[in-house]
Structure 1
Amino acid sequence: MKKLPVARFLFLALLLPLSAAAGPLEAQLSAYASAAKAANPSFAGFSAARGKTLHTQSFTGGKADTPSCTSCHGKDPQAAGQTLTGKAIKPVALSATPSRYADPAKVEKWFKRNCNEVLGRECTPQEKGDWLTYVQGQ
């Protein structure tokens, strides 16, 4: 078998799109960034600080018994949470549950359900990206 010279290998590797090497979470964040930029041309990127605020802030538009993400997920993203019925919820921090965001369809399902319950509406792409950026760093 003929060996591929290192320089040629590196050149070919650079031709591959970066998204092909990116994982599901990075692809999801990239899609949210595109949608956020389309909705707001001045969008300049996601913010873990805004994501933390979204996670801890209380809202009045959703259900009264779930005014914030912390109602079920708790204040510490690395700790397990609990539903109102007592069912355990795995930690939302990527460091504690590495495979949690591997399925984009599940991520969207839970954003839709949880945002409607907490905020009383769907989250914007920027809110989703900010929140994922926050839990990614935890």
Structure 2
Amino acid sequence: MEMPNLSPLRRGALAALLTACGAAAHAAGPAELAAGYAAQAAAPPSAARGEQFFTQAHGREWSCASCHGTPPTASGKHAATGKSIAPLAPAFNPDRFTDPAKVEKWFRRNCNDVAGRECSAGEKADVLAWLMTLKK
């Protein structure tokens, strides 16, 4: 695929994004998704920033931890509906972060709830980086 008029960094980010989009038909994993988001952000992910983003409020009533718990290694509970939420950390729920379309839907909905906006690619990469550090 010819990508004229793009810097090498943007070409790499675009290639990673296209790869991530192509993976939508196949099972992915949190590491592959985090790598795709990091390429979009053109910055390496930070687990420390991910933990901070997850546990702090962002001008709204809830933080991510309000429903998913801290750390999100056990079942959580939706703050408004009381609906049970399966563990978020991939080591505690291997089905998490395997479908790129579902991950995007999850980030879109939840970032709107906690930040009132869509999360940036860097924020998504950071949160995934932190979640992958949580082990049994």
Establish whether TM, by shorter chain, passes 0.5: yes
Q: TM-score by structure 2 length?
A: 0.74
Q: 1:105 to 1:91 in 2, by over 3 A?
A: same
For 1:31, the equivalent position in structure 2 comes to: 36
For 1:12, the equivalent position in structure 2 comes to: none
Following superposition, which runs of at least 4 residues in structure 1 exceed 4 angstroms of deviation?
Answer: none
For 2:63, the equivalent position in structure 1 comes to: 68
Larger Rg: 1
Q: Which segments of 5 or more consecutive residues in structure 1 lack a partner in the other structure?
A: 1-18, 38-42
For 2:75, the equivalent position in structure 1 comes to: 80
C-alpha displacement of 1:75? 1.3
Partners of 2:97 and 2:41 lie apart in 1 by 19
**Contact 2:28 2:97 survives alignment (8 Å):** no
Q: Do residues 56 (structure 1) and 61 (structure 2) align?
A: no
Which of 116, 133, 136 in structure 2 is aligned with 1:137?
Answer: 133
C-alpha displacement of 1:30? 2.1
Q: Do residues 127 (structure 1) and 123 (structure 2) align?
A: yes
Partners of 1:29 and 1:75 lie apart in 2 by 21
C-alpha displacement of 1:58? 1.3
Partners of 1:77 and 1:70 lie apart in 2 by 7
- Give CA-to-partner distance per residue, 1:66-87, whole Å, 9 cap, x none: x200111111211111012111
C-alpha displacement of 1:117? 0.8
Q: TM-score by structure 1 length?
A: 0.73
**Contact 1:24 1:101 survives alignment (8 Å):** yes
Amino acid at match of 2:45: F
Q: Which segments of 5 or more consecutive residues in structure 2 lack a partner in the other structure?
A: 1-19
For 2:101, the equivalent position in structure 1 comes to: 105
Amino acid at match of 2:132: Q
For 1:93, the equivalent position in structure 2 comes to: 89
C-alpha displacement of 1:91? 0.8
Partners of 1:125 and 1:34 lie apart in 2 by 8
C-alpha displacement of 1:48? 0.8
**Contact 1:47 1:134 survives alignment (8 Å):** yes
